[in-house]
Structure 1
Amino acid sequence: MKPKSTLEEHSSLITDVRFSPSMPRLATSSFDKTVRVWDVNNPGYSFWTFLGHSTTVMSLDFHPNRDDLICSGDGDGEIRYWSINNGSCAGVFKGGAVQLRFQPRLGKYLAAAAANVVSILDVETQTLQHSLQACLTI
């Protein structure tokens, strides 16, 4: 199948991709340290480019019921909360996030995983609620 359009705005490899649960939006993260939000119905260009990470953005997720909120995590363990409404950074949390996901349906919590630790963050207060560490045996 021949593609109808290409996502040409990232300057490096794409590391993650997520659909918005409530709008025709798609978000991508990249080795180029950016997060981009695309209109699925008109994907020829991104309508938001979020800048601020100092290293590769590894993971991202849309909030399940707040249309304006997306988060991203980078290789240095920084999590950024972004407002889709105005394109600004709504908060920063240091705490590890090679992978991150919002709690489905409710979105009260964000789980962020790095190495053998899973951090559970309260989205509203942007504070660490729990830290779970895996016991590694060799």
Structure 2
Amino acid sequence: MVLSIKYASSSVWQEVCKKVKDAAVFIDAPAGECVSWHGGIRLLMDSGATSVKEFSSFESGESALKAVFIVSTPLTGTTRIILRDLISNSKFQHCILITSCSPTVLTLATTGNVSENTEEMTALHKLETDMLHWMKNKDYAVEIFHLLISCLP
């Protein structure tokens, strides 16, 4: 069986679209460029997104209760600050983070090292805990997905 890049890339965005129903979507520039090859903002809106905005500290979710963040860079430094600002300045009860960075890459970017024998999830769990803290309620929902959103046909 031969798997084409176009099919693989389309499949990833189909998975993303399953998550955006009734959500305010925040997308960074590289991921925005990638989705443009698959239908752009219309693809996300047709999948039920209530809005699609730039992944920026200057945006907010307004009255949205669900948010989907689509980012292509490790969740450190400025990217993490933007995520914190977006969540803290909104009233989200359900946050979904879709990132092209694997848990191992996130751990490496966060700590500078990764154990060779284990699938390192520490940084991912810390990020999930931080997101719940920024939402100001530990009973709210956070989901984090690693999808290769940066793949182009």
> Normalized against structure 1, the TM-score is what?
0.31
Q: 1 or 2 for the larger relative contact order (CA 8 Å, sep ≥6)?
A: 2
Higher helix share: 2
> Normalized against structure 2, the TM-score is what?
0.29
